[in-house]
Every structure is written in structure tokens, then in C-alpha cells.
Amino acid sequence: MRVTRHIELYATPFEVAEHCAEHFVTAAKAAIDARGRFSVAFAGGATPRLLYEHLAERYQNEIEWEKVFAFWGDERCVPLDHPDSNYRMVRETLLDHVVIPTFHIFPMMTSDDPQRSAVNYEGTLREFFGDAPSTTFDLLLLGMGDDGHTASLFPHTSALQAQQEWVVAHFVDKAKGWRLTLTAPFLNLARQTLVLVTGKTKAERLKEVLSGEYDPNRLPIQRIIPIQGDITWAVDRAAGSALH
């Protein structure tokens, strides 16, 4: 099936958040209409905060939140109430403000040994999607680091080589800590992928990623090639300033 890549340029990070919220709502309504549920994998880091806050403020009553199922694309191996926790960030900006049943929220449990956490999360995913899904998340949200990483797929790390695993745990020298991450083959099963990139620091790397040579060990986000479904890059003027 043809995969379509869209690049949407907006003036400011807030406009990126507004349009991504519209994508989120449209995807949620379509999934719930079609299958009675909406599964979303949240991105961590700073960029998506505005999106999550906007969803909480503006779309509390526009989505049947009780039919939403929340997952994460990656996690730092810290307690779930730690300031660096992606789970905590999404809970504070969004989940605490909308009515998603607790048993629909699937954080990567970081209290175990990282390898055990990875195995357990893969079990959670298998329980939800089955053992051989042709598609997974209705919407996958991703960010991009200024080194071209996404989720916790960092350049030149062993996590990039995973083919069979859906979730891997690895120590990331650059992040000075253990990370849990969904693997590229599993991420590529999402029905829709939305990548949020804002800020001047991302501009040169984004140009390399989108129009430079294919170098997925150095630029891991280039491994994100959905098997089916669309990928949309939502970019602000600063991050898109080298794309011309």
C-alpha cells in the first residue's frame, strides 16, 4: 500500500500543537467510529507538551476519552513520578484532565530491571494488538532529537538493529541512562504517524533527515517508514528554516 509523506509547516510551536490536536481528534473519531476504540502511542520530551495541554484545554468533551487507550513510544528508566518520566509528563499535561479509565493507560513500568520491563511491555502490547498484528496504533506520536533520534532509538545504538523485538531496553550513553523504546519495525506498524518537530536547533538535522542521504544508523528517525498509512511531519518555521 502506498505510504504518503506529508510535511506541514506552521509559523509557531503553538500552531503546530493546534493542528496536531486536530489530527489527533480526527484520528480518534475515525478509529472509534470504525473499531470502537482509539489507541495512541504518546511521545515524550518537551515538544509534545503544548499538544497535550491543548488537547486537555480544548478537546475535553470532543473525544470519547473513555474509548481511548494510551501507550508510550519510549520511557526513561526512572520512577513514574520522576520529573524526567514521559509517563508523568503526559499524565500531568493531559491524562489528569480527561476521563480515560485507568485500565486503559499502559505506562512502561520502570520499577523492574530494564530488560524485564521491556519483556513485560511487549506482553502488554501483544495482549492488546495480538501476536501478529498487521497494524497497531491508530496514531503514533513521535518527536525528533537534534541528533536525529526518535523515541529512544539513538544513533549507532544496538536498539537500531532489533528486528524481532517490539520493545528493547538499552543504556544510552548520550542520555546517561537506561531507556525503554519501541523498535522501528514495531513503530512502523502504526496506522498513522505524526512527527512533531519545532525549534531552530532541529533545522539542519531535519533537512538532512528529509532530503539528505538515507543513513539510518546516524539518523535513526529515517527508519520510520510506516508499512501502511501516512506519516505527517508537523514542523514550525524555525525547525523548517533549512527546508527549501
- Residue showing cell 498484528: 133
Q: Which of residues 52-111 bind ligand 6PG (CB under 6 A)?
A: 73-74, 86
Q: Which is nearer to ligand 6PG, 86 or 232 (CB)?
A: 86
- Please name which of 230, 218, 54, 51 lies closest in space to residue 145, comparing C-alpha atoms: 218
3-state secondary structure (DSSP) of residue 89 = helix
Q: Which residues share a beta bridge with 135? A: none
Per the structure block, which three cell numbers stand in for 95? 491524562
Among 47, 85, 136, 188, binds ligand 6PG (CB under 6 A): 47
Among residues 100, 27, 20, 105, the alpha carbon closest in space to that of 64 is found at: 100
Name the residue nearer to ligand 6PG (CB basis): 32 or 238: 238
Query: Which part of the chain contacts ligand 6PG (CB under 6 A), choosing from 8-16, 17-25, 148-156, 183-191?
Result: 148-156
Residue whose beta carbon is closest to ligand 6PG:
143
The residue among 11 and 46 lying less far from ligand 6PG, judged by its C-beta, is: 46
> Of 19-27, 56-64, 111-119, 145-153, which part binds ligand 6PG (CB under 6 A)?
145-153
CB 150 within 8 A of CB 144: yes
Query: Residue 172 interacts with ligand 6PG (CB under 6 A)?
Result: no
Number of residues that bind ligand 6PG (CB under 6 A): 15
Which of 30/175 has CB closer to ligand 6PG? 175
Q: Residue 205 burial by CB count (10 A; 0-12/13-18/19+): exposed, middle or buried?
A: buried
CA distances to 2, 10, 29, 154 from 72, in Å: 26, 26, 20, 17
CA distances from 161 to 135, 165, 212 (A): 21, 10, 21
Instruction: Cell numbers for 191, please give them.
Output: 496506522
Contact between 45 and ligand 6PG (CB under 6 A)? yes
**At its nearest, how many Å lie between ligand 6PG and the CB of residue 143?**
2
Binding status of residue 193 toward ligand 6PG by CB under 6 A: no
Closest separation in Å from C-beta 131 to ligand 6PG: 26
Element (H, E) at 223: none
**Least distance CB 152 / ligand 6PG (angstroms):** 6
Binding positions for ligand 6PG, rule: CB under 6 A: 43-47, 73-74, 86, 143-145, 149-152
